[in-house]
Amino acid sequence: MLSETNDPWLLTPGPLTTSLSIKQAMLHDWGSRDAAFIEMTARVRNRLVDLLGGGDDHVCVPLQGSGTFVVEAAIATMLPRDGKLLVLINGAYGQRMVKICDYLGRASVTLETPEDVPSDVAALDALLQRDASITHVAAVHCETTSGILNPISEIAACVKKHGRSLLIDSMSAFGALPLDAATVPFDAVVASSNKCIEGVPGIGFAVFRKSALERCQGNSHSLSLDLYDQWQGLEGNGQWRFTPPTHVLAAFDQALKEHEEEGGVEGRGGRYSANCRALIDGMKKMGFAPLLSDNLQAPIIVTFHMPADPAFDFEDFYRRVGEKGFLLYPGKLTVAPTFRIGCIGRLGVEQIHAALEAIQDVVKTMGVSELGPRR
Ligand SMILES: *Cc1c(COP(=O)(O)O)cnc(C)c1O
């Protein structure tokens, strides 16, 4: 079963399967300094602030590149050279933020939980109490490494209580899981065009509390990654400082329109939750074991244990399921050998059921009988 453009369905954390109308939105050329494109930029920026209930005291700064570019840019822009970032880690994306600090020469400390355990808010509270030199905290909303949902409201309340600045990496949750500036106080949220908004890859963005961004002039070591300067440019003439990904923005604009038509965060999150439920139920019925219990699982991507059966070879499994029209995703956990299946992108339970059928056929052909985890 293939998509309407005869491509395999992407059961990955992004880039994702996009709608035909989003792909078609790219069949034009725009002048980057022309009024139509300036208007499109403003529309997209405003919509992204709206999605967080941000209002006039928040502002969106888009940046060329993948999600990591905007994570790096946000850290560089927010942290003064003598700042210190506490990173809450339970997967690869938290680890990556520490690596970014090392590159940037910013001090960092970490608070780590295993990949299948949410960030520990009591430990965060104690550490912020103890270490007055920590100026900023970074948290990952949904850690895509496992698909775990971190307690972002509790983290935000704790950081606020201690008067520190919070950066939320909501890359794989933005647009599908609720996040409201009124109830979850943050200084910045970062995400990208190609995850739950279902655009194509090429744009990251940060939504800042304006009063926090106003204090960031001169922090960044990098001109192209300076989100303060990018903001000043946009506020000045509505234009991007350097060549914008025009087609990507047009697709993102269309994707935001379709997100709204689907019922916004509630509608999008509802469809993903139904996908996730169908996926987990179907995989469990076959005998596969998910890594996370339901209460920890975000409806974004699901991690499954590698089956115990020696006849199960992931490379072969991946190739065969791919030939049937579904691209799965390898695991990158350290706690256990796993693989992942995404439930986001322009697809519904019909595609999930077809994927389950394909998986069932493949394990049968491979002669795999024991689908439970290695013990
Ligand atoms: C996708 C993702 C990123 C950014 O990854 P890129 O490959 O640079 O787009 C960052 N954090 C999380 C949690 C993600 O899921």
Q: Mean pLDDT score of the chain, rounded to an integer? A: 97
Is the predicted pLDDT of residue 39 greater than 70, yes or no? yes
The answer to whether the CB of 13 is under 6 A from ligand 1 is: yes
Task: Give the model's pLDDT for residue 136.
Answer: 98
The three-class DSSP label of residue 373 is strand
Ligand 1 centre and the CA of 168: distance in Å?
12
Of all atoms in ligand 1, which is nearest to the CA of residue 142? Answer: 13
The answer to whether the CB of 172 is under 6 A from ligand 1 is: yes
Q: What is the mean pLDDT of residues 155-166?
A: 98
Domain boundaries, the chain: 9-14+264-366, 20-261
On the question of a cis peptide bond just before residue 15, with omega within 30 degrees of 0, the verdict is yes
The answer to whether the CB of 66 is under 6 A from ligand 1 is: yes
Is the predicted pLDDT of residue 77 greater than 80, yes or no? yes
Ligand 1 centre and the CA of 171: distance in Å?
6
| Mutation probe of ligand 1 site: the residue of 144, 150, 190, 329 with most atoms within 8 A of C-beta | 144
The CATH class of the 9-14+264-366 domain is alpha beta
Q: What is the mean pLDDT of residues 47-61?
A: 97
Ligand 1 centre and the CA of 55: distance in Å?
26
Q: What is the mean pLDDT of residues 262-285?
A: 98
Q: How far is CA 135 from CA 84, 108, 331, in A?
A: 5, 10, 33
Task: Give the model's pLDDT for residue 148.
Answer: 98
Task: Give the model's pLDDT for residue 335.
Answer: 84
In which band, very low, low, confident or very high, does the pLDDT at 332 lie, cut at 50, 70 and 90? Answer: confident
Q: What is the mean pLDDT of residues 14-28?
A: 97
At 122-139, the pLDDT tens digits run 999 999 999 999 999 999
Ligand 1 centre and the CA of 67: distance in Å?
5
At 230-243, the pLDDT tens digits run 999 999 999 999 99
CATH code given to domain 20-261: 3.40.640.10
Q: Give every strand in the sheet of 301-305, ordered side by side.
A: 301-305, 338-342, 329-330
In which band, very low, low, confident or very high, does the pLDDT at 375 lie, cut at 50, 70 and 90? Answer: low
Task: Give the model's pLDDT for residue 333.
Answer: 87
Task: Give the model's pLDDT for residue 286.
Answer: 97
Is the predicted pLDDT of residue 334 greater than 90, yes or no? no
Angle value at C-alpha 15, between 12 and 21, nearest 5 degrees = 115
Contact 82, 158 (CB under 8 A): no
In which band, very low, low, confident or very high, does the pLDDT at 357 lie, cut at 50, 70 and 90? Answer: very high
Question: Percent of the chain scored above 90 by pLDDT?
Answer: 97
In which band, very low, low, confident or very high, does the pLDDT at 374 lie, cut at 50, 70 and 90? Answer: confident
Rg, C-alpha atoms of the chain: 21
Q: Do domains 9-14+264-366 and 20-261 have the same CATH topology?
A: no
Residue 60 φ then ψ, to 5°: -105, 130
Ligand 1 centre and the CA of 136: distance in Å?
20
The three-class DSSP label of residue 64 is strand
Question: Measured between alpha carbons, how far is 129 from 179 in angstroms, rounded to an integer?
Answer: 26
Contact 162, 185 (CB under 8 A): no
Of all atoms in ligand 1, which is nearest to the CA of residue 195? Answer: 1
Question: Measured between alpha carbons, how far is 90 from 43 in angstroms, rounded to an integer?
Answer: 35
Question: Measured between alpha carbons, how far is 207 from 232 in angstroms, rounded to an integer?
Answer: 14
The answer to whether the CB of 203 is under 6 A from ligand 1 is: no
